[in-house]
Structure formats: C-alpha cells, structure tokens
Structure 1
Amino acid sequence: MEKAFALVKVDQKTDFASYFMKGKANYWWESRKALKGDDIMTWDRFTKLFLEKYFPRYMKNQMEINFLELKQGNMSVTEYESKFTKLARFVPEQVDAEEKRAKRFQQGLKPWICSGVAIFELTTYMVVVQKAMIIEGKSEMS
C-alpha cells in the first residue's frame, strides 16, 4: 500500500486502504471502526492495529530467528540471496548499513564460497553477492 500511496499521492491512506479489504479483514476493520466511533484513525494507528492483528509479535520473532539462523546450505547463491532479502526486512537493525548487510550475507555462504569472497574484503552487498555467484559458477564449470 505504501508504494501505491507514494505513486498517487494519497492523503486519506486509512480510507483508501480499508476500501480494498475483503472477507475477514473487512469484518475486522468494520468492528474496529465501530469501536473508534467518529474519531479519525491515523494511518500510523491503522497500520499498528493491522499488524497486531495479522502479523503478531510471535510471528515477527520467528522471522527474526529464521534470518539469524539462515545459511546457504543446499541453496544456490541466487536462492540464498532471495531468501536473505525476504527475511532481512524483519531485522532492519541487522542490515541497516551496507557493510553490515554484506558481512551478514557473506557469513551465511557455504564455507568454501565464503572463503573465496572473504579474500576480497568487500563491503558492498551487491558486490559480495556477485562475487559469490562467480565463485559458485566457476566451481560448477570444473
């Protein structure tokens, strides 16, 4: 929704987002709105309530654990990077700087790929990913 709001410059975000709710989400919203009465609900409050309902803390905690335990394992570098990116949004403090993101990604690579990447002392995430892909690709050609 935030991407859509940025594109069309929506001012009444809560009304706009709630218009698209269907099924259980719409029933939830209608009951929340009835409890609120005539008071206007801010977008920040709406998103907080929505996330509490549909993305509770225990789920966020589980996603954080999944990220912290993430290793390349049997995945290709491309698959690992995709999963890394997906889970990284749940732990912004772990990847809030380019160098931190690059280091964390590198640590999860297969040891032989990590060793190959480490010698370059890279600090840029995309460069680490690219070098890991090159190293992996070279081994597949051997």
Structure 2
Amino acid sequence: MLRILERVAGLNTGSKGRRSVTERLRSNKAKLFRGVTEVAPNVVGYCVWSTERIVDDLNCTLEHKLKGAVSLLSDEAYQWWLTVKEGTQPDRLSWEFFKSDFQGKYVGACYIDARRCEFLNVTQGDRSVAEYEAKFLRLSHYTRGMVASEYERCVRFEEGLWDNLRVLIAPQREQEFSILVEKAKIAKKVKCAERQNRDREMGKNKRI
C-alpha cells in the first residue's frame, strides 16, 4: 500500500518527500479502485474527481496525474487499463484520455448525460457562494466540450448566481474563474452588511 500511495505523486524525491506525500494522500483518503461492477456510478464519478483533487493539491503534472490514477487501480480495473493501453498509441495516453475512458467504462453514458443536464440547470439556490462553486466544479467534470473556454465558464457561473449578486458582477465581464468567485463572495458579504444595516435602522425607528 505504501508503494502505491507513493506512486500517486509520481515523485522520486527521497524518504522525507515520500513520507509527506503519503501522509497527504492518506489525509485525503485516496483509495484503490478495483472496478467492481456493482459500485454505483456516482461513487465511481467521485473516485475520479477526488483523485484529481488530491493530485492537484500535490501540484502534480498531467503526466503524474495519469500515473497516480493508474496506481490506484487494481484487480479488474487495472486489467482493463492494461488492455486499453495496449490498444492505444502512446502519444494518446494522457490524463484527459484516461478520465474519458474510465468514465465511459465505469460511469456510463446515461449517468454522464444526467450530470451534464444538472450542470446546465445548477444555480446558487439556497447555497452560499462557496457551496455553489463546489457543486458547479463537481458537475463541470462531466461537461467536457460543453464549456469551451474560461470565459464561457465564468458566464455560466454568473448565470446561476442570485440576481442581486449577478447585477453587481456581470457588467465587469470577468474572464478568470477564480477571481470571479472571489468577487461573488465579496458581493455576498456587502449584501449581508447592507441588510444588517437596514435591520438595525428599522429597529431604531421602531424604538423611537
């Protein structure tokens, strides 16, 4: 198990570095995937998403992401990957290729289509901006090709925000997603402060 976890990082930096990577992976609960057929599609989808999140936290390259994901496969799932690898040109064996094939094998087209539909209809609703961002990003993993650019992703995120937040942010036409999210969080704080001020003023007027 230790060797498997060390390979996820795709690094060879000595015992101290390997221990720190292993501890990080364990704290993020990286697990082996055996490809058991009765595993629910949402569990498999979460497996792909959580693995990507962990290796992102470790600042891995795309090559290391692929190596890390493959190192978490065992039994039937690992045999599946060997078969795919043998029948694929080496220059096509990328992280994106792996995700696409893995989801096609273990998640299924119907589940992916349902998540894409959910992505197109997701809104902030009763969520905080951070909670909305988390769901938006989780669903976006199933929308390959639907949101072609960073700007289009920003526009889609804006469309799902509360109206009173969107009117403050949309005119700025932000094109960087992380900055857009921070602006939305700031706008939410401003609106909360305004509401609190109004409530205090109303309370004062009632006492007069």
TM-score by length of 1: 0.70
CA contact (8 A) 1:73 1:110 kept: yes
Whether 1:7 and 2:7 are equivalent positions in the alignment is no
Q: Structure 1 residues 127 and 18, CA, compared in 2 at 3 Å: closer, same or farther?
A: closer
- Structure 2 unaligned segments of length 5 or more: list them: 1-7, 9-51, 197-208
Q: 2:65 and 2:136 mapped to 1: Cα distance?
A: 30
- 1:17 and 2:77 are equivalent in the alignment: no
| Count of aligned residue pairs for this structure pair | 129
Name the SS for the 1:93 alignment partner. Answer: coil
Contact kept, 8 Å, 1:98 with 1:123, in 2: the verdict is yes
1:129 CA displacement:
1.1
Superposition deviation, residue 18 in structure 1:
7.5
Shift of 1:53: 3.1
Q: Which amino acid aligns with 2:64?
A: L
RMSD over aligned CA atoms reads 3.5
Percent identity of paired positions between Structure 1 and Structure 2: 24
Unaligned residue ranges in structure 1 (runs of 5+): none
Distance 1:67 1:100 in 2: 13
Question: Structure 1 residues 20, 139: closer, same or farther in 2, change over 3 A?
Answer: same
Q: 1:133 aligns with which of 182, 185, 197?
A: 185
**Match of 2:138, as an amino acid?**
K
Distance 1:9 1:137, change over 3 A: closer
Tell me how far apart the structure 2 counterparts of residues 119 and 100 of structure 1 sit (CA, whole Å).
15
